[in-house]
Structure formats: C-alpha cells, structure tokens
A and B are shown apart, each in its own frame.
Chain A
C-alpha cells in the first residue's frame, strides 16, 4: 500500500539526473554488445558499398528524364495553345452566326439595297 506524505518532496536536479542516467544508460558493461554493434556497422558499410541506394538506380536516367519532361511540357503547351485557338474560333463563329439572325427593327438601321433591287430600279429607269 502506498503512503503519501502530506508535503511532497521537491526533487533536486541531482536526483532527476540520477534517474535519467539510469533510464538512458548505455549497455556499457556488455563488451560483446559493442563488438556486435561494430561488426553490424561495418557489415552495413560493406553492403551499402556493394549495392548502391535504391535511388542510385535512377541516376543514369536523370538526363533522359529531364529531356522527356521538357518535351512533354512543350507538347502539352502546344496542345493547349491549339485547343485555345480552336475554342476562340468557335466562339467567334457562334457570335457571328447569332448576330446575323438578330432582328433589327426601326428605320435607323435600314438594310442596304440588295444587288437585285438595285438592278430592277436601273432597269425601270432605262426602259
């Protein structure tokens, strides 16, 4: 059973340090541990030297990848430009077509006489 004091003890820095040291103690007394760790480190270095890191595989492909990316960017840009032009042309044509069927009322915008009307008038004057 735990017995709590009424006035809790104030821990000093030394006591905190002592407990921390115990918690974080390295396996110092175990010599074989360090031998094992050393051999693991050296094995890791030897292995890493034999087989490059996974991203190293892509090292030779960097230039090709960059060129492909630039080409793809240029093609995408050209396609975008064409699509935009086509869109503008269609929009222009749509506006022009709709403008030709808009009824224009009033004498202020009198339609210019057509060629056939003009010819008929000339014929009546002459004959």
Chain B
C-alpha cells in the first residue's frame, strides 16, 4: 500500500480526489502520477506479462475514473484503486488462462532485468513459478516483492487472510525446492 507519512500528503491527495470528483481531469492525472507505480506492481504480480500489467493498470484507472463518484474521499484512495486494478488484472488472467509452462517461462521474465543475473537461475525460477497456481504466484509476489501484508493480499485477491498465508507458505516451499539444485552452479 502507498504510505503517506506526512499528513500534508494525505490532505493533498484528499484534495485531488475531491477535485477529480468535481470533474477536474488534471487532478485525476495527478492521482495517476501518484499511484501508477504501485498499481503497476499489483497488476504485475497477478498477470503473466509486462504488457498485460500495463493493460490492467489502464483498465483499472478507467474503472476508477468511472466509479469516482461512488468513492468516499475519507477512505484511502490507494487501497481502493489497487483493489480495482487487481480485479482488472484477475479479469485479464481469467480471459487468457495461459497455463503452458513454456509460454510462462518465456513471458514471465521482465524486460527490465539485471543482465548480470544467471540465466540458469532465471530459467529455473520461471519454471518453478509456472508450477504454482495463479493465486499462489500472485500471493508470493505481492508479499515478497511488493511488501503487502496477508490481510491486504486477501482483500486484493478476494480470499481469506488465512488462505493468503497458506498460499505463501506453499509457494515458498515450492520455489526453494525448485531452486535448490541451481545454487551450486552460480
């Protein structure tokens, strides 16, 4: 979740939301600037590719813009938006349902990777990720990469907190097991 440590930042966001609700698109653009990175991270944890994550972010912001009049400005805009983006990402995943492990291994690697990292390790990790179900993969990425808490992940994905906790445990165990043979080659 986007943390707003200074009260002024929260107040500023509140002002932007209220202005956007009155139809000020510049204010909504400012909200996009504030939240798009986090929204991308949420979407990227759920879908398989960078391109799908971009689509989910755009869909999410569009839905948020249309539903803006139903949003209560005293709530956390980021949390509300992230749920919408997560839903958009889940919709894309449901539509595509790419289950082929090879396709996953080809597409899951981000183009923004460190070239020094071992290709073997990446290959092994992507293969290991492909053995997880969609929910487990989303949970481990949201938790380990993006730092979401179990309860937040539960709200984002529409699952109980305990399920998120259990998925994380199983996903980690699977990845550790799959990666254990690679270590000696690095």
A17–B144 CB distance below 8 A? yes
Total A residues in contact with B, Cβ cutoff 8 Å: 34
User: Among the listed B33, B109, B176, which residue makes an inter-chain contact with A38, where contact means beta carbons less than 8 Å apart?
Assistant: B33
**With a CB–CB cut-off of 8 A, which chain B residues contact A37?**
36, 40, 54, 57
**Chain A at the B interface: mostly helix, strand, loop or mixed?**
helix
Nearest to A15 among chain B residues (CB) is: B179
How close is B157's CB to chain A, nearest CB, in angstroms?
Answer: 16
**Chain B at the A interface: mostly helix, strand, loop or mixed?**
helix
Residue among A22, A41, A45 with most chain B CB within 10 A: A41
A48–B62 CB distance below 8 A? yes
Tell me how many residue pairs across A and B have CB atoms closer than 8 Å. Answer: 109
A24–B25 CB distance below 8 A? no
**With a CB–CB cut-off of 8 A, which chain A residues contact B145?**
17, 20-21, 24
Q: Is B70 an interface residue (CB 8 A)?
A: no
A-B residue pairs in contact (CB < 8 Å), sample of 24? A5-B183, A8-B184, A11-B183, A13-B176, A16-B175, A16-B179, A19-B117, A19-B179, A21-B144, A23-B109, A23-B113, A23-B125, A24-B41, A24-B141, A25-B112, A25-B113, A26-B41, A28-B37, A30-B112, A34-B37, A38-B33, A41-B36, A45-B28, A46-B25
B interface with A by C-beta (< 8 Å) = 25, 28-29, 32-33, 36-37, 40-41, 44-45, 54, 57-58, 61-62, 65-66, 108-110, 112-114, 117, 120-122, 125-126, 140-141, 144-145, 172, 175-176, 179-181, 183-185
